[in-house]
């Protein structure tokens, strides 16, 4: 049987390490963006040359820490010993060059200026885009490395572990479901959820936390006025779905959100 105390200690240490990594990376990237005196092409190139190597390095750190955490967690679950084998991620997790990705905040800024917005507002929109892109890239490093480590260990199923005391409805409801290891954990911009292996090779069923699902149902019912004593209406499978994003992969969304073309895809 896995040790509850050890599992919690491993999770706490992982949270601390990845949280620190995230904060340091975001601080560096945003400070580099804020330090620019203008946001023209030359500034974009200088910014990209400065930050992309650091971002790629941070993604590799996220992969290494995730590999170590999951290897230790799974070993404890199985009552075995194991050492992390290491995960080497490609630089282009999105399938396109990071250089192109990190030019997008500048395009956002230029577009806002072309739309007649003042300079501070336009730069603010570019900064917000940069924050979303960087957070998403770090989360992609987490999900890709987690899949590789869990597949290597023979784990078949996992769940998403919520981070902190405040989580969005998408993540909360999704955390009540089990996922198959061969599938990347669906994310969304700003998502901090963490993959957590499920012990054993028996399928626990789609819903693994009925109580939390009912709590989420009750909370939404209070806001929408829809309720059901059986705890199954509205049917959240008809509300929260997984869309396939061309760059990010599986993306949590609500059913009314459809990607109808390149301009409709949130390129976080």
Would you put residue 79 in left (φ > 0), alpha (ψ -120 to 50) or beta?
Answer: left
pTM over the 0.95 mark:
no
Judge whether 82 and 100 are in contact, CB under 8 Å. no
Range 184-193 average pLDDT: 75
Q: For residue 178, what is the DSSP state?
A: -
Which of 13-17, 43-47, 151-155, 189-193 has the weakest average pLDDT?
Answer: 189-193
Q: Give the best-scoring range by mean pLDDT among 8-17, 213-222, 259-268.
A: 8-17
Judge whether 252 and 242 are in contact, CB under 8 Å. yes
pLDDT tens digits, 18-42: 999 999 999 999 999 999 989 999 9
pLDDT tens digits, 127-164: 999 999 999 999 999 999 999 999 998 889 988 888 76
All residues at 6 or more sequence positions from 44 whose CB lies less than 8 Å from its CB, including other chains: 103, 106
Cis peptide before 234 (omega within 30 of 0): yes
3-state secondary structure of 13: helix
């Amino acid at each position: 049987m896995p040790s509850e105390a050890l599992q919690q200690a491993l999770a706490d240490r992982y949270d601390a390490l990845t949280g620190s990594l995230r904060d340091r990376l975001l601080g560096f990237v945003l400070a580099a963006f804020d330090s620019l005196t203008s946001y023209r092409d030359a500034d974009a190139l200088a910014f990209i040359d400065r930050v992309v190597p650091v971002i790629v390095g941070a993604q590799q750190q996220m992969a290494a820490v995730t590999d170590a955490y999951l290897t230790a967690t799974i070993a404890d679950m199985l009552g075995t010993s194991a050492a992390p084998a290491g995960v080497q991620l490609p630089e282009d997790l999105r399938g396109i060059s990071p250089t192109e990705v990190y030019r997008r905040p500048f395009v956002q800024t230029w577009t806002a200026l072309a739309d007649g917005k003042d300079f501070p507002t336009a730069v603010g929109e570019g900064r917000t885009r940069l924050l979303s892109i960087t957070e998403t890239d770090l989360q992609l490093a987490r999900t890709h490395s987690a899949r590789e480590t869990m597949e290597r260990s023979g784990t078949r199923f996992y769940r998403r572990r919520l981070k902190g005391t405040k989580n969005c409805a998408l993540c909360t409801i999704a955390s009540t479901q089990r996922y198959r290891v061969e599938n990347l954990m669906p994310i969304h911009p700003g998502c901090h959820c963490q993959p957590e292996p499920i012990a054993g090779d028996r399928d626990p069923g789609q819903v693994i936390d009925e109580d939390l699902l009912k709590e989420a149902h009750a909370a939404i019912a209070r806001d929408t006025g829809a309720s059901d004593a059986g705890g199954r209406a509205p049917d959240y499978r008809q509300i929260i779905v997984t869309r396939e994003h061309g760059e990010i992969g599986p993306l949590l969304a609500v059913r009314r959100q459809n990607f109808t073309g390149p301009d409709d895809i949130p390129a976080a």
